[in-house]
Amino acid sequence: MRKAVILVSGGLDSATALAMAQADGFQCYAMSFDYGQRHQAELQAAQRVTAAAGVSEHRIINLDLRQFGGSALTDEAIDVPTSGNEEAEPEGIPVTYVPARNTVFLSLALAWSEVLGARDIFVGVNAVDYSGYPDCRPEYIAAFEAMANLATKSGVEQHHLSLHTPLIDLSKADIITRGTALGVDYALTVSCYQANDESAACGLCDSCRIRRQGFVDAGIADPTPYY
């Protein structure tokens, strides 16, 4: 079996990407980050998801992005926008964007993949319901892959490294339909930006609203506990 490194956040998308990577025959090494995020419940969700999937290994990397701030997810001084206060949010990139987050996470996935001898990295980014984050766009993913192939031994030794984004063109409803068919238990996952300690979701933040509508559009019962 070919080894793959996969970023698992504890959310719905990465749980689905993990199931798809396994269905494609990859032996999966999961990586999560304790980066000082507001929603620590997602790390517990990542542990539930990777345990249920039976990954080869699950590493949680400590890297406190709060020292940079600049995002509602890592800076207590910036409020998470909800349907109740969305008029306060400016146009463009949302305040929940974490500066260079995917680049930082993918760089560490690249480091681990090189040590493991894995030539495949999976990430559950999605360009349809991508919330306006620059580092979820297909052109960004292509540029990261090109860079990664020059950055590492594998690039020098002509072993092509692939960055897989199996969700990139799927709607949230499509993702939920595909994951459900593969047996993903979405009750294990947490998408909410302000989930409580029991992993219950607010139902109001951007992430909750997109997820909730996805279950409606897919015609699948939403197992998410809301507080």
Contacting residues toward a second copy, per CB under 8 A: 59, 61-65, 67-70, 92-93, 97, 99-104, 106-108, 110-112, 114-115, 134-135, 137, 139-140, 143-144, 146-148, 150-153, 155-157
Q: Which is nearer to a second copy, 119 or 140 (CB)?
A: 140
Q: Which is nearer to a second copy, 76 or 198 (CB)?
A: 76
Q: Which is nearer to a second copy, 62 or 87 (CB)?
A: 62
The identity of residue 203, as a single letter, is G
Q: Taking the complex as a whole, how short is the minimal distance between the CB of residue 190 and a second copy, in angstroms?
A: 24
Q: Which is nearer to a second copy, 29 or 215 (CB)?
A: 29
Q: Taking the complex as a whole, how short is the minimal distance between the CB of residue 100 and a second copy, in angstroms?
A: 4
Q: Residue 193: which of 97, 85, 80 has the closest Cα?
A: 80
Q: Which is nearer to a second copy, 2 or 153 (CB)?
A: 153
Residue 35 CA neighbour count, 13 Å, CB half: 21
Q: Taking the complex as a whole, how short is the minimal distance between the CB of residue 48 and a second copy, in angstroms?
A: 22
Cβ neighbours, 10 Å, residue 99? 13
CA 150 to chain centre: 25
Q: Which is nearer to a second copy, 47 or 196 (CB)?
A: 47
What are the beta bridge partners of residue 60? 32
Q: Taking the complex as a whole, how short is the minimal distance between the CB of residue 119 and a second copy, in angstroms?
A: 13
Q: Please give the sequence-ordered ranges of beta strands (E in DSSP) within the chain, or none if there are none.
A: 3-7, 27-34, 57-62, 120-122, 162-164
Tokens read off for 148: 């990664």
Torsion sign across C-alpha atoms 23, 140, 214, 188: positive
Q: Taking the complex as a whole, how short is the minimal distance between the CB of residue 58 and a second copy, in angstroms?
A: 13
Residue 215 CA neighbour count, 13 Å, CB half: 15
Q: Taking the complex as a whole, how short is the minimal distance between the CB of residue 29 and a second copy, in angstroms?
A: 11
